Amino acid sequence: MRTLFCLFSLFLSGAAAADAPGRFTKQGCFTVATPAGWAASLPSSALSEKERKIYGVEFTGPSAAAGAPKITVNYYAPGNKLHKTPQRYIKLHSKPPFGVNADKKEYGPVTNGLAGNYHAKVFDRKVFEYVPAGSMDAAKVAVYERFAVVPVKQGFYVLRYTVPEALAKEHLKAYEASLASFKPLIK
């Protein structure tokens, strides 16, 4: 029922609202602290949130030569078009695809942790991106990512930190503050 409320309120509202300074609410889905000086935007996709059944926000931090840090918070509703279960999400993001690590990516162990006061599965990895994307002269950049996957009865949440590896420690406290403040509204 709560899922229907989330979907209905998103349809009526257009998506999100900022509560108070430093706080962000995805109406009917979750609340989370907004890192100071970071910009909030809706993740881009060819399908709408309602069509994908994935509702979220992306916070982008200050840009540097190496790139900008990002914190993404998503709610994956039952029947979403991308990841059917939290276990599937974890399996796809915490290990090399097909068990072959051709790019020398690094994967940390999946451990128990917290997102706010809620149990989460936490893991990190180092992957590579080519910047600028689509360019013939793109440079290979190491990217650090940390994930917290929070299962609930009606779907699951993912809080993801993505940052050029050179800036990982510099912005980690912003992610940890958002993670500690997280409150799911669909449980």
Q: How many alpha carbons fall within 13 Å on the CB side of residue 70? A: 18
Residue 121 to residue 113: CA distance in whole angstroms: 6
**Cα 40 to Cα 22, 28, 58, 61, 148, distances in angstroms:** 11, 17, 6, 9, 19
- Domain locations along the chain: 2-184
Q: Strand, helix or coil at 175?
A: helix
Residue 64: pLDDT band with limits 50, 70, 90:
confident
CA distances from 132 to 65, 102, 136 (A): 12, 22, 9
CATH of 2-184, one of 3.40.190.10, 3.10.20.740, 3.40.1000.10, 3.40.50.970: 3.40.1000.10
| pLDDT score of 15 | 41
pTM: 0.86
What are the tokens at 54? 């994935």
Instruction: Compare 27 and 145 and report the one with higher pLDDT.
Output: 145
